[in-house]
Structure 1
Amino acid sequence: MEGKCFLSLFSCFLLFLLVLLQAPTGNGSNDRMNNGEIKLIVRIPMSDFPQFVDIVWEPSQQKYTASGYCMDVFNAAVTYLPFNVSLRVLPAVVDSSQVYKTHHASPKQILTESEVVVGDVTILANRSKFVDFTVPYIASGVKMVVPVKHGRDQTMWTFVKPFSWDLWLSIIIISTFIGLAILIMERNVNALPNQEGSPNQKKLCPATILWFPLSQAILPEREVVVKSCSRFVLMVWLLLAFVLMQSYTANLTSILTLDQLRPSFLNLNDIRRRGYYVGYQSESFVYDVLIDQFKFDPSKLRPYRNIAEYHDALELGSQNGGVAAIFDEVPYLKIYLQEYGSNYVMSGPEYRNAGFGFVFPLNSNLTAYFSTAILDVIESGIMNEIEEKYFGKNYIGGEVSSGEISSETLSLSFHSFSGLFFISGISTLLALLVSERFIWQRLILMAKALTEIMSPIPLFKKKTRTHPIHDSTHGTEA
């Protein structure tokens, strides 16, 4: 009996431990659990971009209220949690020694067991050593914004810009080849009389090898060639010339009429080589990226807090106390381009990072719950509605239609017409082989005759063997 009582007590103890382990708790969750509801303090860092996060004090309610893109995503994720959460919003006092902004700082213990940071906080590897991040809810990365010039860059050589140099060279080569092929095929054609008895055809001159195909493309003549193969080659050339002329006209029209955006600086090396000043968001890890990854001189970096300061610095320019470019994370730059996108463009290399995430204490069990909830929000389509609310329809999917791609017209290259050039060259070569087949036949006959002539001739004729009796008789007589 005593053994059975001991086993019963041991089983009850194991069952009690199992119930405790299955409870949805994180660090210190027993202290903040009240009637099956977790009490969570939401810390909101101060941001100069209220589109992402903004916190204000409500005197009538005697509490803080938060709004913005990040807070809406957090509230949407809370609805997908498998347990109830009670939220209390408080501001987060962040200085340069804490983990939110500075990349290489030694972070302090800024979160207690019942706190979460909701804001435009970037997920970085060194920060993950001290706090837990959820999965990112918005993509990010560091790029630059530079001014662009409006207008049309027209010179006396604008007429050659529709085609690249390799395409112009290809046109000259194919035109010369076709002119030479037609000259060979028409070389034996004399002035033939027409029905009235007067000469009707002109013999082609070798000096017009290049000019002849071009003249036919501009002012074609029906009776300029006689042979069927020559006419076939000329028809193929006219088809190629028609496509090239239509493409040239369309591209030249766009160059002369469309408003073009041309970046003031071609690439990052131009800015760095010329020693121009560049700007970045103050107290941001972008400062370290500019020095460590983009190799900028620290004396050429200037901090700014918001998009209004970005705009003023870019308008002044590097020579007048401003900057030549602004470096920041892509979400902030897209907010800037929505406001001033007609005069600026996003360009240059990108330093990639994970994006924005919510911050929990290290080894918190709530991180996994909120990460799963964020994925549910993304897959449900609610994320698109939140992005449209704060950033407009163009922002959905992380792209902005205006400002990231320059509208400068590019020259057409040989690759765009390589198929037509290949067809024209093969057709001309086949027509030449068919037209001049008697030459190849004559060459084949000459080759056979030359082979017979050059074959080795025996010096002595081979004697026919005679009968042995005759040999012995001749031998006796001798």
Structure 2
Amino acid sequence: MAKSFSCYSWFTLFLLFVVETQTAVTSSGSNETSIGVIKLRVGVPKKEGFDQFVRIVWDSHENKYNVSGYCIDVFNAVVNNLTFKVSVQMEPHVINGSESVGSYYNSILKQIPTKYDVAVGDITIMARRAQFVDFTLPYTEMGVRMLVPMVHGRHQTMWIFVKPFSWDLWLSTLIISMLIGVVLLIMERNVHTLPHQDQSSSYRQQLTAVTILWFPISQAVLPERQVVAKNCSRFVLMVWLLLAFVLMQSYTANLTSILTVDQIQPRFLTLNDLKKWGYYVGYQTGSFVYDILVEQLKFDPSKLRGYKNIYSYHDALKLGSQGGGVIAIFDEVPYLNAYLQTFGSNYIIAGPTFRSEGFGFAFPYKSNLTEHFSRAILNVTENYDIMHKIEEKYFGRIEDVQKQSTQVSSASPSLTFHSFAGLFMITGISISLALIVSETLIWQKCILKIKEYTNRYLLRSTPSTETHVLPNDLQATQETN
């Protein structure tokens, strides 16, 4: 009997040990039940504006908060992609009236893991926050961009015909034309008449210094047969006509584009324009974007105005800088995409991208769950169907948003010399080779002149070998004769 009781006691103790080990607390601070399901207390930050990312609504019938939004749907998709089971308990964390947005986000992160096991929302990954929490990989587009009103239409002036080419390309074309005129003048200087011309007309008079520029241009527009006599001259003229043909076709195409295509441009060109003319710019109140504008971009803090949501963004942009609003909004790309989804018809994302790490989920420092969730985030973000469905639910057709946020370049539509540098180089080499072949006698004369001067110099530097005859020897010679 004692032996049977002893075996039963040992078996009971073994079962209790198994149950206790399966209810042990994980390193993330969450409890794992006996059936292997991890319970997570999810802190969800709630701030005013941008309900597309996090939306918290009190349900009076069920006496609880209903939590939804882009960040929540992505988190649920990531949880479903995990290799283990997770039980989620959403706990909204509403901002206090006296608490700023920046300190509000930091406060919820500092309550991990005492109050929350993970924080989910539009929480930007930042170095100073990573000192007390671990972030997963980002699940949103990274970067801080600039939102500006865009200008439709075609800016046509009386000088629009020179706009297809930049000034350096116009200058290069003029120089190469004059160079070809000079080369043809050198090549054809000894030719007096052409076969189709009268003997009385001097062909050399047609290629004077006055016509150096006009001759290549006239041949490019109205080419004539047998306008030059030498084969090398014809080769140079052929190369010039090829260059002129490419330039004329490019000019026509670019001018047509400028005259017909709707040019979408921001109301200013660069960040230097904003600072130079003292324009007011906006940012999201409490966001780290303020630090980027002041510390990195060197904006005057007095020229910065903070706003809380996309509707205040819209009102400020409509007023403009001189009307009490702003001329541009700086914010993270996900927030700007949310703005474009609502007011995207007359606005565009422009300018360079300033580095930020995007949104991520925050876990306790050195949590073993961070790695699992990061791997699941990769699987979800690389799944087009899942992400497309979530993005279309909160931001509309993502293709339309991307089309509206097409990056606008502040560069001029004019073609530059760099676009045709290779063609100009080929033309220059061809002209040089033709000139060398055509003027062989000149090079030979130059070589002979060099040899002549070299020989003279060598003869002058050689010591004299004359024989000096003494007077006594001369007298002896005469007596002998």
1:13-53 superposed Cα distances (whole Å, 9 cap, x missing partner): 9xx79x949978234444x6353222223232224222222
Q: Distance in 2 between matches of 1:58 and 1:258?
A: 52
In the other structure, the counterpart of 2:132 is 130
**Structure 1 residue 258: deviation in Å?**
1.7
Percent of aligned pairs with the same amino acid? 57
1:383 and 2:387 are equivalent in the alignment: yes
- Counterpart check, 1:234 vs 2:220: no
Alpha-carbon RMSD across the aligned residues, in angstroms, is 3.7
Contact 1:133 1:357 in 2 (8 A): yes
Q: Which residue of 1 aligns with 2:184?
A: 182
Contact 2:22 2:34 in 1 (8 A): no
* 8 A Cα contact 2:187 2:439, kept in partner: yes
CA distance in 2, matches of 1:194, 1:319: 72
SS of 2:340's equivalent? helix
Question: Cα deviation per residue 1:225-265 (whole Å; 9 max; x = unaligned)?
Answer: 11111111111111100000111111111112222123222
Please give the residue correspondences for 1:262-411 in structure 2 after superposition, counting only pairs within 5 Å.
262-381=265-384, 382-392=386-396, 394=398, 400-406=402-408, 410-411=413-414
CA distance in structure 2 between the partners assigned to 1:122 and 1:234 by the alignment: 63
Counterpart in the other structure of 2:203: 202
Query: 1:141·1:329 contact (CA, 8 Å) conserved in 2?
Result: yes
Tell me, in whole angstroms, the C-alpha distance in 2 between the residues paired with 1:160 and 1:425.
25
The letter of the residue matching 1:37 is: V
CA deviation vs aligned residue, 1:34-92 (integer Å, no higher than 9, x gap): 53222223232224222222233445555433222211111111123233222222321
| 8 Å contact from structure 1 (residues 113, 361) kept in 2 | no
Task: Show structure 1 runs of 5+ residues with no match.
Answer: 1-8, 465-472
In structure 2, the CA distance between the partners of 1:285 and 1:103, relative to structure 1 (3 Å rule), is farther
| More off after superposition, 163-172 vs 272-281 | 272-281
Q: Using a 3 Å threshold, how does the CA distance of structure 1 residues 321 and 447 change in structure 2: closer, same or farther?
A: closer
Q: 1:106 to 1:43 in 2, by over 3 A?
A: closer
Alignment of 1:430-449 (within 5 A): 430-449=433-452
**1:162 and 1:248 in contact (8 A); partners too:** yes
Cα 1:446/1:54, change in 2 over 3 Å: same
Give yes or no for the alignment of 1:253 onto 2:256: yes
**Any residues of structure 2 matched to 1:96-107 within 5 Å, and which?**
101-102=102-103
Rate the CA distance shift 1:302–1:407 in 2: closer, same or farther, 3 A: closer
Q: Give CA deviations for 1:424-461 in whole Å, capped at 9, x if unaligned.
A: 11111211222221222233233333433443266754
Choose which of 115, 118, 121 in structure 2 pairs with 1:119.
Answer: 121
Q: Which runs of 5+ in 2 are unaligned?
A: 1-9, 469-475
Q: Compared with structure 1, are the counterparts of its residues 357 and 100 closer, same or farther at alpha carbon in structure 2 (3 Å cutoff)?
A: farther
- Counterpart CA distance in 2 for 1:315 and 1:273 is 21
- Which residue is 1:470 aligned to? none
- The 1-side partners of 2:215 and 2:200 are apart by 20
Report if aligned partners of 2:136, 2:374 keep a CA contact under 8 Å in 1.
Answer: yes
**Aligned residue number for residue 33 of structure 1:** 33
Matches within 5 A, 1:416-455: 416-455=419-458
Q: Which residue of 2 aligns with 1:51?
A: 52
Find the residue that maps to 1:280 and give its secondary structure: strand
**CA drift at 1:113:** 5.2
